[in-house]
Chains A and B, each alone.
Chain A
Amino acid sequence: GAGVSQSPSNKVTEKGKDVELRCDPISGHTALYWYRQSLGQGLEFLIYFQGNSAPDKSGLPSDRFSAERTGGSVSTLTIQRTQQEDSAVYLCASSPETSGPNYEQYFGPGTRLTVT
């Protein structure tokens, strides 16, 4: 079946504008993750959704960042009043479960965000 898809693939925005990034996980996957990857850095965990449970938002860097997942499927990451330091690649991943040590996370291609 189809993999994880993200849109847009690239986004250039002016400082202070709001942006929305979309993630379509693999059908049937209950877990969804958002990460941020800055140049030369490891992936930074942002937020985790699992089924109908309350999301783990502990990785969100500020209250300008928020995410939602509608109907247990599509997720949107919103960044308000963007700053230049928000420029990065935003990666979404999904997995069928998170129980057991060997679960797999399947990644989308990412959205490259550039704030000018």
Chain B
Amino acid sequence: KNQVEQSPQSLIILEGKNCTLQCNYTVSPFSNLRWYKQDTGRGPVSLTIMTFSENTKSNGRYTATLDADTKQSSLHITASQLSDSASYICVVSGMDSNYQLIWGAGTKLIIKP
């Protein structure tokens, strides 16, 4: 069964600190992996998209890594800001369907001043 699992479920860190969120997936055959940020009461916004051949991609203070062999991804946030407080969702697309994405449940990140 195609699944995406994220850890931790929630995380609280102090402003200015770094953190890393994890994602494991079982989707096969794999097409691409995305990280989304979802602010409370808003729709998800894409941070990065990585295909099979990419193992790292950055978007400002966000850096995503992908290990397609172990089917793991991480999202590293550097020098966290209060505005980083949100849910971060890992999403995987399989080759079988270009539009049906498999969504993780997300990691709820809270940045404290």
Residue of B nearest to A108 (CB): B43
Interface residues of chain B: helix, strand, loop or mixed (majority)? strand
Question: Interface of A with B (CB < 8 Å)?
Answer: 4, 31, 33, 40-45, 48, 50, 56, 59, 91, 93, 98-105, 107-110
Q: Of A43, A93, A108, which is in contact with the most chain B CB atoms at under 10 Å from its CB?
A: A43
> Are the CB atoms of B45 and A42 closer together than 8 Å?
no
Chain B, 68-97, CB within 8 A of any chain A CB: 89, 93
Task: Name the B residues within 8 Å of A105 (CB-CB).
Answer: 46, 101
B: number of interface residues (CB 8 Å): 22
> Are the CB atoms of B105 and A101 closer together than 8 Å?
no
Q: In the complex, given contacts A44-B103, A45-B100, A100-B98, what are 7 additional A-B residue pairs having Cβ atoms less than 8 angstroms apart?
A: A43-B101, A91-B43, A101-B49, A104-B49, A105-B46, A107-B43, A110-B41
Q: Is B24 in contact with chain A by the CB < 8 A criterion? A: no
- Given the known A-B contacts A42-B106, A91-B43, are A99 and B98 also in contact in the complex, defined by CB atoms under 8 Å? yes
